[in-house]
Amino acid sequence: MSAHESDAYPVSPEMPAMFDGMKLAAVAAVLYIIVRCLNLKSPTAPPKLVYQDTALNRFLLKSCPILTKEYIPPLLWGKSGHLQTALYGKLGRVSSPHPNGLRMYLPMPDGATATFDLFEPLADHQTGEDFTMVICPGIGNHSEKHYIRTFVDYSQKQGYRCAVLNHLGALPNIELTSPRVFTYGCTWEFAAMVGYIKKAFPQTRLIVVGFSLGGNIVCKYLGENRANQERVLCCVSVCQGYSALRAQETFLQWDQCRRFYNFLMADNMKKIILSHRASLFGNTSVMLDADLSRLYTATSLMQIDDSIMRKFHGYSSLKEYYEKESCVHYIHNVNVPLLLVNSADDPLVHQSLLTIPSTLAEKKENVTFALTLHGGHLGFFEGAVLFPQPLTWMDKVIVGYANAMCQWEKQKPPCQASGQQNAGQCQEATSQ
Ligand SMILES: *[C@@H]1O[C@H](CO)[C@@H](O)[C@H](O)[C@H]1NC(C)=O
Ligand SMILES: *[C@@H]1O[C@H](CO)[C@@H](O)[C@H](O)[C@H]1NC(C)=O
Ligand SMILES: *[C@@H]1O[C@H](CO)[C@@H](O)[C@H](O)[C@H]1NC(C)=O
C-alpha cells in the first residue's frame, strides 16, 4: 500500500502543473491570435490628408475639425477592417432611423424606369439657404439600406434635402421596364435624378455624395461633362476603388480574403439578376440562355461581368467594360471641391488603388484625399469598447465637410466671385 502511495504521489503534483502550463500556453495563444487579428496594438491616428495649401482648403480643415482629429474605432473590434466590414454588411447600422421619403419614378429614353427617394429637410439649414444632397449608394444598394437611412436622417436634421438613387434593379419589389440593370459606371439614372432636382428646386445647390461603387458613378458623372458640375457645391466619395480594371486583378488574390468577398458579392449580384430573370432574358434582350447558365455557375464578379453586365452597354470585352466604366478617366475633369475618403484596412479596396486619389490631390487644388487607418469598407463605427453608436465617423465627416462648404459660399468675399483683382485681400479675409 505504502509503496503504491509513494509511487503515486510524485506523479499527481506534476499533472496539474502540466495542465496549468498547457492552459497558460493555450490562453496565451488565443490572446496572441486575438491581438493579431483584432489589431489591438495598432495605434489610432488622425486621417492622413493629401491636399494643397489654398485659402479654401485651410478654411475647410478649420471648419471641419473631424478631418484633422483622430478617428477612434470601438476598442475591442474596431481596428479589424474585416469586422467593421462584416458588421456593416450584415447589420448595416445599429438602431437606424426610418426617414420618410417620397418615391419618384423617372422614365428613361430606353424604356427603363429610374427610381429615387426624396427626403425633405427636417430643420432650417444653418446658412438659411437651400441645399440638396444627391446620393448614390453602393453596388446594388438602395435607399432602404441601413447606412443610407442613418445618413439621410442625420442630413435631414442638419437642414439638407436628400435624394437617394435606387440602383436600377436593386429594389426587391420594383419590376424592370426594360432589359437592363445598373452597371459600375452607367450614370444615366443618376443624371436623371439630378436633372429632376435641378428643375424641381431651381434655387437649390447640390452636394454630391457617393458610397463605394456610388463614388465611382458620381465622380464619373461630374467629370463626363462640364454642365454636370453646374450648381454643384462640392462632392464627397467614400470607399470607392477608382479603377475597375486595376481592382479586378486584386480581386482574384487571397490576401485580406478578397477572393472570398468577391464570392459573396458575386452571390448578391446573382440574386439581383436572377430576380429579374423574366425581363432580362426575355426575347427582347441581348442575353442568351448560355449566359444564364454561365451566371448560375459563376463564383466571381468577373464571371458575371463577362457573361452579363458588359452586354447591357454593348462592350465587346471585359477589359473595355472595366476601362470605360471607371471614374479614373474622368475624375481629373472635376473642378468643384472634392473630398475622397478611403480606409487603409478596407478589405475590398487594395492599397495599390489609393495612389489614384493621392496623386490627384497632389495635382488638383480642389481635391482632398483623406485616408483613415481603420474603418473597413463603409464601417467607420464609433463607440467606447464594444457597442457602436448609431452615427458613424463617415456620416459626420460628410455632413461636416458639406457644412463647411456651405459656410464658405456664404462668407465668400465678393472678390472670390468676381475674379483675381483682390486676391490678396481674399487670402487675408479667409485666413483669419
Ligand atoms: C450593398 O453594398 C455592399 C457594399 O457596397 C455589398 O456588400 C452588398 O452586397 C450590397 N447589397 C446588395 C444587395 O448587393
Ligand atoms: C416575346 O415576343 C413576343 C412577340 O414577338 C411577345 O408577344 C412576348 O411578350 C415577348 N416576351 C417577352 C418575355 O418579352
Ligand atoms: C475650386 O473651387 C472653388 C469653389 O467652388 C472655385 O471657385 C474654384 O474655381 C475651384 N478651383 C479650380 C481650380 O477649379
Asked if the model's pLDDT at residue 51 lies above 70, the reply is: yes
User: What residues form DSSP beta bridges with 68?
Assistant: none
Instruction: Using the mean position of ligand 1's atoms as its centre, give its distance from the Cα of residue 138 in Å.
Output: 6
CB-CB contact of 269 with 296 (8 Å): no
Stretch among 15-29, 98-112, 348-362 having the lowest mean pLDDT: 15-29
Determine the distance separating the centroid of ligand 3 and the alpha carbon of 411, expressed in angstroms.
15
CATH number of this structure's domain 47-243+326-412: 3.40.50.1820
| Cβ density class 5-17: b for 16+ within 10 Å, e for less | eeeeeeeeeeeee
Residue 98 appears among annotated catalytic residues: no
**13 has a pLDDT exceeding 70:** no
CA-to-CA separations, 89 to 147, 148, 264, 377, in angstroms, rounded: 10, 12, 11, 9
Q: Which of these ranges, 12-21, 37-46, 351-360, 419-428, has the smallest mean pLDDT?
A: 419-428
Q: Quick one: pLDDT at residue 9?
A: 53
Q: Measured in whole angstroms, how far is the alpha carbon of residue 4 from the centre of its chain?
A: 72
pTM above 0.75, yes or no: yes
The rounded mean pLDDT for the chain is: 89
What are the tens digits of pLDDT across the range 71-86? 999 988 898 998 889 8
Phi, psi of 104 (to 5 degrees): -115, 145
CA distances from 277 to 213, 309, 357 (A): 23, 14, 38
Hey, which of 60, 222, 236, 366 would you mutate to test ligand 3's pocket, going by the most ligand atoms within 8 Å of its Cβ? Answer: 366
Nine-digit cell at 99?
426617414
Which residue's alpha carbon is at the smallest distance from atom 1 of ligand 3?
366
pLDDT in tens, 211-223: 999 999 999 999 9
Convert the pLDDT of each residue in 174-212 to its tens digit.
Answer: 999 999 999 999 999 999 999 999 999 999 999 999 999
State the Cα–Cα distance between residues 162 and 207, nearest whole angstrom: 9
Mean pLDDT of 302-328: 94
Mutating to test ligand 3, I would choose from 56, 59, 222, 229 the residue with most ligand atoms within 8 A of its C-beta, which is 56
Other C-beta atoms closer than 10 Å to the C-beta of 256 total: 19
Residue 244: predicted pLDDT: 94
Domain ranges of the chain: 47-243+326-412
Is residue 90 predicted with pLDDT exceeding 70?
Answer: yes
Q: Calculate how far, in angstroms, residue 268's C-alpha sits from the geometric centre of ligand 1.
A: 7
Catalytic residue among 80, 143, 212, 343: 212
In this predicted structure, what is the pLDDT of residue 4? 53
**266: which DSSP letter?**
H
pLDDT band per the 50, 70, 90 thresholds, residue 304: very high
Q: What is the pLDDT of residue 1?
A: 46
pLDDT band at 129 (very low <50, low <70, confident <90, very high): very high
Residue 156 has a pLDDT of 97
